[in-house]
Chains A and B, each alone.
Chain A
Amino acid sequence: MSVFNQSRKNVISLIFISLFVIIIIRLFTLQVITSKYKTLAEDQGTFRKVIYPDRGIIFDRKGNAILQNTNISDLMVTPNKLKGIDTAAICTILGIDTSQFKKRIIELIIKNGRSRPSIFEPLLSEEKMAMLNESMFKFAPAFYLQERSVRAYPYDAAANVLGYNAEVDTNFLKRHPNEGYVAGDYAGMTGLERSYEKVLMGERGIEYWKRDNKNRLTERLENGIYDTIAKAGKDLYTSIDIELQQLGEHLMENKLGSIVAVDPRTGGILAMVSAPTYQPKYLTGSERRKHFSELFLSPALPLLNRTVSASYSPGSTFKTLQALIGLHEGVISTDTHFSCSGAFYGCGTGKPMRCLDVGTFDLRGAITISDNTYFANVMQRVINNPKFPTVDSALTNWDRYMYAFGLGHKLGVDVPSEKSGNIPTPKYYNSVYGKGRWNFCNFRSVSIGQGEVTVTPLQVANEMAYIANKGWYILPHVVDSIEGGDRYDQLTQYQKKIRPTNIPDSIFEAVHDGMQGVVDKGTGAGAQVKDIVICGKTGTVENYYKGVKQQNHSFFCGFAPRDNPKIAIMCVVENSGRFGGTYAAPIVGLMIEKYLKDSITDKGRLARIEQLSKLNLMPPRIFSELRKQDSLRHANDPAYLMAKGYIKLMKDTLGIEDDEVGNDDLDKIRKEKQNNRKPSRDSIAAAEAMLPKEKKTNALRDTTRH
C-alpha cells in the first residue's frame, strides 16, 4: 500500500514548496517593492524633534544685555502616574482646589492622553518655583519641572525697538518658503527681532526619537547619529544707550509722541522712544495672545513705532533746511534782511501767513525767533530763481536738496516698517492744479514745514546729524556689530559717510548760529543745559485728524555740543497744544544732559523730570475712543447686559416665555462672569497698557495670576 502511494510524497512536497514560494513573493513585495509601509512606520515609530536654539542676545552700547533669554519652568504632569501622589499638597502650592485639579487633569487626558506628559501649569512664577523646588521629590514621578527659554528684558524698555516674536502664520510661511519654518514656530515680527531674525534665530537642531504606541518618546534613534546639533543665535551689539532710552520713555509717559537720538559721528541710534510704549514682556509667555489684542486694539496705538512709522509735517524745524538751500543757491546771504509787519504778503493779502514777532530780521535772527515771513521769502526766491526757466525746474531743484537731506524717501534704518514721508514734487502739483497753472503761492505753506511736506522723526534726527556734521551723515542704525561677523551683509551700508551736497562750512556756521540762538535766547530756551552749547529748532505743527483740526504737535530738534556734536536729537509730543518750545524742548534738554553728562544729579532737574513725566498730554479723543470700545465690549457681554436689565427688557418686548432652560443658561453665564472677573476688567487692562509703569506692573501681576 505504501509503495503504491509513494508518489504522493511529491504532491505534498509540491504543496509545501508552492505555499512557501507564495509567502516569499508576498514578503518580497511587502518589504522590498512597496515603500508605503516604510513611510507609515517612520510616521508612527519615529519622531523628528526640532531643537530650538536660544535666540541671540542684544546688548546696548555699554555692553548691558537689554534683551536676553531666561529659563522659566513649566510644571509637567503624567496623568497615569498620579496614584499615591499627595495632590492636596500640590494644590496648596499652586493655589487651586482639588476639584479644579481634577478638572485640569481630565482636560489634559482628553487632550494629550494618559501616558504622555502634558503641561499642568505653564510659566511658573518665582514664588511657586521656590516652593515646588523644595518638595518636588514628593510629587515625582507624576510631576516634574521642565525649563523653557523665554525672552527677557532686564531693563523693561525699548519694546518698539527690540520688537516681539510671534507664531508664524500661513502668509509668513509663504514668504519664507525654504528657511526651515513650520507652522507653530516663532519668528521676530517687529523691531530688531524681525530685521535680524536670520542672525538671532540661530540654527535649529533636529533630534530623531523613537516613539511608542502611546505616542511617548522613548529613546534616541540609533543613539542620535542622524541628529543635527542646534546652534545658538548670534548676539547683536547696538548703539542704544539703555539708560537714555529709559529716561526718554519715562519722560514720554502720559503722552503720544516720540524721541530719536542719534550719534552724528557714527549714525548709531542712541535712543528710540515711541510713546505710549508697553512692557516688552507683555508679549512673551502664556498670556501673549490676550495682551496682544489689548495692545492692538488700543486707540493710542502702542504697537506703532512712531519714530519711523509716523510721519508729521515738520513745522518750523524745516526752516533750517530752507536756510541751507537759500544760502547755497545764493538767493540770500547771511546778512539778507526781511521784515515782517505781521504776516507774509508775498502772495497777496488773501490768506496771509502770520508771524509772531513783528520786525526786521537777518537769517540768524529769523531762525532764532522762527520767523515765518523770512522763510516764505527765502523759498519764494528759491522757486522764482531766474536761474530756472520754470517753476517746475525750480521746485525739482529744491526737491533734489530735500532728498539729499534724507527726506522724502526711506533712509534704510534697520528697524522695520519705516515710512518715507513726503516731499511734494512738480508732478504732484501738475496733477492737482494742471500743468503750468500753479506757482509758489500754491504751496507757500511748505516753506515753513506745513502742507504737503511730511517727515518721520527719524528723518529729522538724521537731518540734525547732517547739519551738526556740516554736510555729511551716516545712515542711522541700531546695530553696530554682530557676533561672529556680518554674514548676511546687513551692516556695510551703515559704515560709509554720505556727503550728498557740497555746501560750504560757512553756510552751516550761519545756521548753527541761528540754532544756538534758538536755545540761548529764542523759542527753544526750555532746552537749555548748563555748560552745554546746544543748537536746536522748535516746531509747532498744525494738524488734522479725520478732517478736524487738532491741538498742535510740539516739535524740538537739535544737536549738542555745538563744536563737537555727540548727539543729534528729535522729539515730538503729539497734540500737546502750545508751542514746540513748551514741552519738546525741555525733554530734549534733559535727554542731552543725561547723555553728555552721563547722569542728572541736580535736584531741580530731577524734579523737572518727574514733573514732565507726570504731565498728561494724552489727547481727549483717545479716552473717548477707549470709552467707546468699552461700551462695545459690554454690548457683547450678556452678564453686563443682564446686570443692566437689558436682557430682561428684550425678552419682555419680544414676548419670549421664561422657560427654564433659558434661565439656567443665563444663570450659568452670570455665575461664570462673577467667578472670573468683572466684565470691564479687559478694558481696564487695555488702558493700563499705556499708563505709567507702576500700574503696568500691577496689571501684569494680576493677569499672570490667572
Chain B
Amino acid sequence: MYQRKETILQGKDWRLIWMFGLISIIGLISIFSVEYRSNDDIIHSLFAFQKNYSKQFFYLIACVVVAMFILLTDSKLFTATPNLLYVFGIGLMLATFFIGKTVNGSKSWIPLGFMNLQPVETCKIFTALALAKYLSRPDTHFDKSRSQLIAAGICFLPIVFSLLQNETGLALVYFAFLLPMYREGFPPIYLILGFSMGVLLVVTLLFPAKPLIIALGVIALLLINSLKIKIKRNRSLLFFIVGFWAFSALFIGAVVPFLFKHVFQSYQADRIFSMIGRDNPYIDGKTVGIDMPANSAAKKSKADNENYNVKQSKIAIGSGGFFGKGFLKGTQTQGDFVPEQHTDFIFTSLAENFGFVGCALLMFLYLSMLLRILFIAERQRSTFSRVYAYSVAAIVFFHVAVNICMTIGLAPVIGITLPLMSYGGSSLLTFTILIFILIRLDADRQMVLR
C-alpha cells in the first residue's frame, strides 16, 4: 500500500514529464526561429535576456525550479488549501481593478516588476483545485441540482470578473470546466445545449435573422409531421420541438444581437465577424440585415487588421507544405509577416518550418498528452485528484484547440495561448504548475485524498 518515497523522482509519471519537456523545448525552438536572423550571436543573445527566446529560456528554467518545488511538497497541501487559494485568486482579480495595468485594451495585468501577472490566467489553477475540493467533499451530492449550481458558480465566477476586465478570450477558458463536471455526473443536456447554442450562434452570424427563423420553423413543422405517430403517444415531444423552435427564434432575434451590442466589445465582435468573412453589422446598435452605418469605414480598418492576422497566419502555415521549408528557412517567419507570432501565433512558426509533418507530430504529441492525463485521471482513487486531472485536461484541450483553430481560420482570434509553446512567463508558469500539481497528486494516487 502507500509508502513514502525517498526521492522526488520516484513514482512520478515520467511519460507526462517527458511530453511536458518535449513540447516546451519545441516551443522554445519555435520562438527562436521567429526571432533569429542569420549572423545573430546566439550564445550572447541567449544570456543577454534581450531576445524573447532568451527570456523564454530563463522562464523555462524558472518553471523547472517551480516544478521541483511542487514535486517536493506534500500533496496534502493541495487538498488542504484550495478554498484559501481560490479566495486569493478572486482577490487578485479584484485587485486588478485598482492596481491593474492595461495591455492591449484589457485591464487584467498586475505588474510585478520583473514580469506581468495575469490573475485570470493563474486563477485557472485555483479554480481547478477549488472545483476538485468541492466535488470531493463527502457531503457533496453532485446529482442534486443545488450542488451542480454551486460547482458551476465556482467555475464561472472568474468569468464575470474577466469580462469586466475586457478579457473575453481567457474568460471563455473557464467553460472548459464543464468537462470535469460532466465526468462527475453533470447532466449531458447542458453540454448538448451549449453545443447547439454554439452552432445556432454561428448560423445566426452567417444568415439574416428573419429567413433563418422561418427556415427553422419549416424544419420544425416537417419534424412534427414526420413524428406524427410518436407525438400522438407522447405529447411532450411536440412541446419540446415547439419550445426549442421558440427558444431558437428568441436566441436569433434577441440574444445574439444583445450579446454583440452590449456584451462584446466592438473589436471582439469584429474578430468574430472577420473570421466568417463578414462585416460587423451590430455597430451602433443596428441589427442584422440593416445597412452599414456611415462610420463603418473607420471601424473597417480594424476588421481588416484582424483579417490580416488570420490571412498572414494561414499563408505562413499553408506555405509550409508537406515537409516544411526547413528550420530557420521560413520566409514568412523571417520576414515578420505574422503579427504576434511569438505569442498567440507561435504555431505558424512551427508549421512553416516543419510543414504538415511537423504539425501532425505536434498535434499527436498534444493528443497523447491529453489522453495520458485522462488515463492518469481514471487511475486515481480520490475524487479530488480525478476532478483536478480532468480540469487540467479540459483547460489544456481548450487552449490547444482554440489556439490552433484560431491560426488556421476555424475560430475567431481571441488571444488564447498555445500551452507550453507560446512565449510568455505567465502562461508557461500556469501550465507548469497545473501539470506538476497533477503529477504530484498522481504520485500519491494510492492515497485517498480529501
Contacts and interface: CB of A to CB of B under 8 A. Distances in A.
B185 A31 contact: no
A218 interface: yes
A212 B335 contact: yes
B397 A16 contact: yes
Nearest to B387: A2
A38 B408 contact: no
A16 B370 contact: yes
9 contacts: A2-B386, A12-B179, A27-B363, A41-B318, A41-B332, A46-B331, A213-B336, A218-B335, A219-B37
A31 B321 contact: yes
A40 interface: yes
A676 B397 CA distance: 70
A6 interface: yes
Nearest to B375: A9
Contact of B334 (A13, A38, A212): A212
A213 B183 contact: no
A37 interface: yes
Interface string A2-26: 1011101101110111011011101
A37 B319 contact: yes
Contacts of A9: 183, 374, 377-378
B202 interface: no
Contacts, number: 131
A34 interface: yes
A429 B320 CA distance: 76
A595 to B, nearest CB: 61
Interface of B: 37-38, 142-143, 179, 182-185, 314-322, 329, 331-332, 334-337, 351, 355-356, 359-360, 363, 366-367, 370-371, 374, 377-378, 383, 386, 390, 393, 397, 401, 404-405, 408, 410
Nearest 9 A-B pairs (CB), nearest first? A37-B318, A45-B331, A41-B319, A212-B335, A31-B356, A30-B318, A213-B336, A38-B319, A40-B315
Interface string A310-322: 0000000000000
Nearest to A212: B335
Contacts of A26: 408, 410
A607 interface: no
Interface string A82-104: 00000000000000000000000
Say what secondary structure dominates the interface of chain B.
helix
A19 B408 contact: no
Nearest to B326: A222
Contacts of A27: 317, 351, 356, 359-360, 363, 408
Contacts of B179: 12, 15
Nearest to B39: A219
Given A5-B185, A37-B318, A213 B337 contact: yes
Nearest to A34: B318
B184 A1 contact: yes
Contact of A36 (B182, B318, B366): B318
B298 to A, nearest CB: 22
A37 B335 contact: no
Contacts of A219: 37-38, 334
A218 B356 contact: no
B397 A45 contact: no
Contacts of B360: 24, 27
B41 to A, nearest CB: 16
B134 to A, nearest CB: 14
Interface in A655-696: none
Given A211-B335, A213-B335, A1 B370 contact: no
A698 interface: no
A80 to B, nearest CB: 15
A9 B355 CA distance: 32
A13 B185 contact: no
Given A19-B401, A44-B335, A4 B320 contact: no
Nearest to A222: B329
Contacts of B383: 1-2
A41 B356 contact: no
Contacts of B322: 31-32
Contacts of B37: 218-219
Contacts of B405: 23
Contact of B378 (A6, A15, A23): A6
Nearest to B317: A30
Nearest to A17: B367
B337 A45 contact: yes
B390 to A, nearest CB: 8
Nearest to A41: B319
A1 to B, nearest CB: 6
Contacts of B142: 1
Contact of A38 (B321, B371, B386): B321
A221 interface: yes
Interface in A488-546: none
A20 B337 CA distance: 27
A40 B393 CA distance: 37
B401 A45 contact: no
A20 B319 contact: no
Contacts of B410: 22-23, 26
A44 B337 CA distance: 9
A646 interface: no
Contacts of B143: 1
A66 B216 CA distance: 85
Given A36-B318, A42-B331, A45-B334, 5 more contacts: A9-B378, A16-B370, A30-B318, A34-B318, A44-B332
A30 B322 CA distance: 10
Nearest to B338: A213
A28 to B, nearest CB: 6
